[in-house]
Amino acid sequence: MPFIAVHVGHRSAVARDVVMANASYLLVPNLSDAVNVIRLVGAAMAERFGAFLVIDIGELAKDGLAKDAPYLAPFTVTASAPADKATQEALSALISGIQTADARYRTPLIDRLKLADDTQASLARKLPAFPVVTLRFAPIHKVPQSNEVYPELRDRLVANVFDAVLQSVADFTRKETCLEPASHRALGRRVFVDAVQRADRAIDDIAGRFDFLLSVTPINSEDAWAEFKSLNFERVPHFLYRPLAFNIGESKKALFSINLERFEDPVLTTLYREKQTELDLQLSMLAARGARQFVDLGRALYRPIEPRLSQAAQDILQATAGLPLDGDADTVDYRFLERRAQTMIDRYSAQSKGFAASVAVRDDLPAGMMVSNGKLLISRHTSMSKARVEALLSHEVGVHLLTFFNGSEHGLKIFRSGLAGYEGAQEGLAVLAEYLSGGMTVSRLRLLAARVCAVAGMLDGASFVDTFSMLHREQGFSDRNAFNTALRVHRGGGLAKDAIYLRGLLELLDHLSRGGALDAFWMGKIASSHLSVMQELSLRGLLKPPKIMPQFLNLPGADQRLARLKTGLSPLDLITA
C-alpha cells in the first residue's frame, strides 16, 4: 500500500484502534523503532508506487470538557504536515473528512498547525524524507474524572477518524502515485481477520439454533380453519406452535459473549453488531409468543406502518376493487408444485454445483411455500392457480434460495443467513421476480396491500376476528384467503412481518427509478441500506460477484419489464404490462 498509519506507544486505545483498522499499519512502542521501520518500508513502497504517505495518529493528554459542563462542547483536534503541496492537500482532505463526519454528540474543533509549532509532530521531524501527517484528537470517549468510557462515542470516534484517514490517503494516492482508487474505501482491509471469522461462526451457530418463522407459525392451520368456520367466524380458533428445542436464555448469553472488539474493521463491526441486535429481538419475541410484548417487539423488528406505505396499500385496494381477479379454474396441488420446484432447482444446480437446494413437503405448515436455510418447504395443503406457479417459484427459488447460496461464497456465513433487516429487500426483490417472470396479477397485488392494512390494524389493537372481517367483508377476499392472511398477521400473538413485502417493493422501485441496479442484491441476503457497504467490500476484494444469476432475468419479456421499472413505476403499474 502507498501509505502507513502509525501509532507510537500503547496507552491510547482509540488511536490504536483507528490505526489497526487500516490495511497498512504500524504499532510500535517507541519513536526510534518507528523511524527505523518506516524508513525501510517507506523506501520500498515509494519505489513501487512513486510516493509514500505516513499518518501519525495519537490522542491528546486530556479532553477540555469539564465534569460539570452545561453542554457538550466541541472537542480539540490538532493536525499538521510539512509545507509541501502534496502533504498539505492530504492534510486538508483529512481535516475535511473529520469535519463532515456525523459526530452526533460533539463536533470537532480543528487546530491546523505549522509543523514547527506542533509539539506532537516528533515523528514528522525525524522523517524529513517522507510526507508525514500528524493527527491528535482529544480523548472524548473517556468519562471525565473516571476510568469509564462512553462505548458508543468510542466506536463513532474510531469509525469517523478512520474514514477521514482513508479520504486523506485516497487524495494523496490519486495525485502522487500510480494508483487510482475508485473510492477511498477501496483502500481498506482486503482480508477477514481471525476475530471476524470466529465471531461469524459464533453468530451463525446461534442463528442456526432456530428458524424464527417456523417457530411462530401454527402447526395446525387446517384444524384451526375448520374450527373457525364451525364457530361462524366469530371466535378465534385455537392455534398450536412447535415447542422450542433450545434454551433462549443460554442463547442470549452466548450471543452477547461474542467479542466484536477485535475486528480491526469498523464496517464489519457495525454489520455484526446490527445482527446481534436483530437476533436478540428475535429471541425475545420467541420468549414472548402469545403475549402482548410479542407485538411490541415485532414493531421494533419490522417497523411500524409509515404513512406512505399505508397510503400505497389503500390506493391499491381502492384502484383494484372493481377489476376482474385472476381465476383459479386450472389449479394444481403440492405434487405438481414439488415437481416444478425440483425442475427449477436442477436448472440452477446445472449452473453451479454450489446450488445444493432440496425440497421438502410438510404437513405442519399453512398452505403455500417458504424457504428455510437451503430448503424449499411446501405445505401439503397447497392448492394454487397453475398460471402462478413459475412466478412463485421464481420468488422462492430464484431469489430466496439463490441469495442463500450466493451468500455462502464470500467466506462469511452472515451473507447467507442475512444481514440485519435484510427481509424487506428480499421480499421486495422476490415480488419483483414475480413481475419480471410475467406472473404479477391483480389478486397478488391486492393481497400484498391487504397484508399491510391487516398489519396496521393488528398493531392498533385489532383482533383476529376484526382482521378477518375487514379482509372478508370490507375488502371482498374469500373467507379462506381472509383466514390465511389473518393467520399470518396474528401468528405468535401478532407479527408485523407481512408489511415488508409492499414496503420492500416500494423501496426497490425507488432504487431503480434513481438509476440503481439490482446486481448487488444477488450477492447475498442484504438490506437496501447495505448497498454502499456491499460496494465497499467488493472494491476491497472481500466479496465475490454473484456466482449464480436468476434465470427469470432471461425469460421472454424480462428485459423489457426491467427497462420499464427503471423509468419509475408504482406498484399499480406492475399489473398493466
Question: What's residue 11's pLDDT?
Answer: 79
Give me the mean pLDDT over the 391-399 stretch: 97
Give me the mean pLDDT over the 131-158 stretch: 91
Question: What's residue 323's pLDDT?
Answer: 83
CA distance 157 to 164: 11
Please give the share of the chain, as a percent, with pLDDT higher than 70: 98
CA distance 423 to 426: 5
- 339 within 8 A of 345, measured Cβ to Cβ: no
The closest alpha carbon to 288, from 278, 297, 279, 277, belongs to 297
Please give the share of the chain, as a percent, with pLDDT higher than 90: 89
CA distance 503 to 523: 21
For residue 447 the three cell numbers come to 393481497
Question: What's residue 470's pLDDT?
Answer: 97
Question: What's residue 322's pLDDT?
Answer: 83
Q: Is the dihedral of CA 304, 309, 314, 316 positive or negative?
A: negative
Average pLDDT of the chain, as a whole number: 94
Give 70's pLDDT tier (boundaries 50, 70, 90): low
Q: Say yes or no to pLDDT of 96 above 60.
A: yes
Give me the mean pLDDT over the 387-399 stretch: 96
Give 68's pLDDT tier (boundaries 50, 70, 90): low
The closest alpha carbon to 39, from 110, 146, 126, 169, belongs to 126
Q: Which residue has the cell 467490500?
A: 537
Give me the mean pLDDT over the 210-233 stretch: 96
Question: What's residue 179's pLDDT?
Answer: 92
The closest alpha carbon to 76, from 62, 90, 87, belongs to 62
CA distance 192 to 50: 28
b/e map of 119-152 (b: 16 or more CB within 10 Å)? Answer: ebbebbeebeebbbbbbbbbbbbbeeeeeeeeee
- Which of 318-327, 368-377, 471-480 has the least mean pLDDT? 318-327
Give me the mean pLDDT over the 82-106 stretch: 93
361 strand-pairing partners = 378
Give me the mean pLDDT over the 550-570 stretch: 95
Q: Say yes or no to pLDDT of 273 above 70.
A: yes
- Give the pLDDT confidence of 292-346 residue by residue, as tens digits: 999 999 999 999 999 999 999 999 999 999 888 776 668 999 999 999 999 999 9
What is the CATH topology of the domain spanning 3-187? Aminopeptidase (3.40.630)
Question: What's residue 327's pLDDT?
Answer: 62
292 strand-pairing partners = none
Give me the mean pLDDT over the 245-266 stretch: 94
Question: What's residue 408's pLDDT?
Answer: 94
Rounded to an integer, what is the distance from CA 156 to the centroid of its chain? 19
Vertex 232, ends 228 and 238: CA angle to 5°?
A: 20
The domain spans of the chain are: 3-187, 211-245+288-575
- Which of 10-19, 85-94, 300-309 has the least mean pLDDT? 10-19
Angle between helix 558-565 and helix 422-436 axes, rounded to 10 deg: 130
Give 102's pLDDT tier (boundaries 50, 70, 90): confident
CA distance 317 to 310: 11
Give me the mean pLDDT over the 383-409 stretch: 95
Question: What's residue 324's pLDDT?
Answer: 80
Q: Say yes or no to pLDDT of 117 above 80.
A: yes
Vertex 422, ends 405 and 307: CA angle to 5°?
A: 150
What is the model's pTM? Answer: 0.89
Give 105's pLDDT tier (boundaries 50, 70, 90): confident
Q: Which residue has the cell 470517549?
A: 141
Give me the mean pLDDT over the 278-283 stretch: 98
Question: What's residue 146's pLDDT?
Answer: 82
Question: What's residue 577's pLDDT?
Answer: 58
Give me the mean pLDDT over the 43-66 stretch: 91
